[in-house]
């Protein structure tokens, strides 16, 4: 059976079901369809299925809409709400459902369990199941494997194959990263590893590392947790620099000249679907081991502090300008959690805007990628957004914000204009030369 399925991969004759058509699943479906596979995308949301069938998607991920139109027109990708029916027709099932946190910041695996039960209803011999969703340690063994075997009556490694291949995509570069980034393939048995490896080799040029499922689960979470911890250090360093009168950008530049040091950039907060969630998924395993994970928790607290710190910088700057925050007009540049994307998941902009509005400010919002306003007045043209504004707050590191015409902005804003740079995109010397009061994260000079 194994050799037959691998041969189907090589001839692109395999049928593939992608369960979950969000920011991971939809690009995954499009990429496999573009590689000449027949793909069925599955999602419980009928509006998502309809949008894909009509090739009218909301995300502004570069190249995705064009690729989607291509593969749908060629008949290689169709969408459905029926998981068991799709599984019956396919040789491979790839699960890309969300694994969010609940109100207590504990893993909510409801969507994953539901997907596995739907798959198990139609699972038959000779099929490969791959989980791409990010999961807590031992989820594959204690939840996924048990559901699939119990509900189907089949045996993993004998009747079907199962692998954990966590995604490594980046918003704004998903298609590029999917095709070139290295991937991890975790499995319970040799045959599952080989079959999953052969499939992925047909869509990526990156190196594929084989390991067991538990190691793959921890490695995926460690990647994003490390970045979160590193950013937290950079943010704490920035707060220290503000106090002692040093520019954190210069301090980081000098420190990073050491061959074994690579400090990340500080900023007004950490957002996105991964860095704000994965540390808690990793920490959820503490129930079965005696570990005090103080560094990870402290890092999360530090990064969660930064939106409030940014709002405090706004207050400080407004007072220096001799103004009151109440009824001041504040323009927030960027609501996406990172530059060159429309993704606003857990964006620090939401908290910054909320705090400024609660303080009585009138908030205008401009983002060239996103339609979200988070309660602020969304304005589609940057020059209109900054007009008659008292304060300009840079929240997202979109490239265009680093090359704004400060001379023009100065003329449009009110007297004693303020810039609060949450991403350190604007040169402080340039801002002061044009007559701005400048405050930036980690700028203590």
Positions marked catalytic: 220, 274
* Alpha-carbon gap, residue 242 to 98, rounded angstroms: 38
| Residue 204, SS3 per DSSP | coil
Nearest to residue 335, comparing CAs of 320, 354, 319? 354
**Hey, CA dihedral for 62, 65, 68, 70, is it positive or negative?**
negative
* Alpha-carbon gap, residue 142 to 251, rounded angstroms: 46
Taking a C-beta distance cutoff of 8 angstroms, is the pair 399, 369 a contact?
no
Tokens for 16? 């593939």
* Alpha-carbon gap, residue 302 to 294, rounded angstroms: 12
Distances (CA, A) of 79 to 51, 75, 124, 423: 9, 11, 21, 40
Nearest to residue 60, comparing CAs of 177, 174, 168? 174
Taking a C-beta distance cutoff of 8 angstroms, is the pair 242, 438 a contact?
no
Cα-Cα end-to-end distance for the chain = 68
């Amino acid at each position: 059976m194994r050799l037959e399925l691998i041969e189907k991969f090589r001839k692109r004759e395999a049928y593939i079901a992608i369960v979950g058509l969000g920011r991971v699943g939809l690009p995954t479906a499009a990429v496999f369809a573009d590689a000449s596979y027949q793909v069925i995308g599955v999602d419980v949301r009928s509006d998502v299925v309809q949008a894909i069938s009509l090739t009218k998607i909301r995300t502004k991920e570069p190249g995705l809409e064009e690729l989607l139109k291509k593969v749908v027109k060629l008949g290689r990708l169709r969408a459905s709400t029926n998981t068991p029916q799709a599984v019956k027709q396919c040789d491979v099932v790839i699960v890309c459902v969300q694994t969010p946190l609940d109100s207590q910041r504990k893993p909510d695996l409801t969507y994953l369990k539901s997907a596995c039960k739907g798959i198990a209803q139609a699972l038959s011999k000779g099929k490969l199941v791959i989980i791409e969703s990010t999961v807590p340690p031992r989820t594959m063994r204690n939840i996924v494997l048990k559901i699939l075997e119990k509900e189907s009556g089949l045996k993993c490694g004998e009747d079907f194959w199962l692998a954990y291949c966590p995604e490594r995509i980046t918003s704004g570069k998903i298609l590029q990263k999917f095709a070139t980034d290295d991937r991890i393939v975790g499995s319970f048995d040799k045959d599952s590893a080989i079959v999953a490896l052969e499939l992925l080799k047909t869509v990526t040029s990156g190196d594929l590392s084989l390991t067991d499922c538990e190691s793959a689960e921890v490695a995926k979470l460690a990647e994003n947790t490390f970045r979160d911890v590193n950013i937290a250090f950079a943010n704490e360093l920035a707060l220290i620099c503000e106090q002692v009168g040093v520019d954190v950008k210069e301090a980081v530049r000098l420190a990073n000249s050491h061959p074994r040091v690579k400090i990340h950039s500080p900023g007004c907060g950490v957002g996105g679907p991964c860095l704000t969630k994965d540390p808690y998924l990793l920490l959820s395993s503490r129930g079965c081991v005696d570990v005090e994970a103080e560094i990870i928790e402290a890092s999360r607290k530090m990064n969660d502090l930064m939106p409030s710190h940014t709002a405090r910088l706004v207050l400080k700057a407004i007072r220096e300008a001799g103004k009151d925050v109440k009824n001041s007009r504040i323009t927030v540049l960027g609501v996406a959690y990172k530059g060159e994307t429309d993704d606003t998941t857990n964006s620090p902009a939401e908290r910054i805007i909320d705090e400024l509005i609660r303080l009585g400010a009138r908030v205008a919002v401009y983002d060239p990628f996103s339609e979200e306003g988070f309660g602020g007045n969304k304005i589609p043209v940057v020059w209109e957004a900054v007009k008659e504004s008292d304060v300009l707050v840079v929240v997202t590191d979109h490239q265009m914000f680093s090359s704004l015409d400060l001379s023009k902005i100065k003329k449009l804003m009110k007297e004693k204009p303020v810039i609060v740079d949450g991403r350190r995109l604007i040169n402080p010397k340039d801002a002061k030369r044009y007559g701005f009061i400048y405050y930036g994260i980690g700028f203590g000079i």
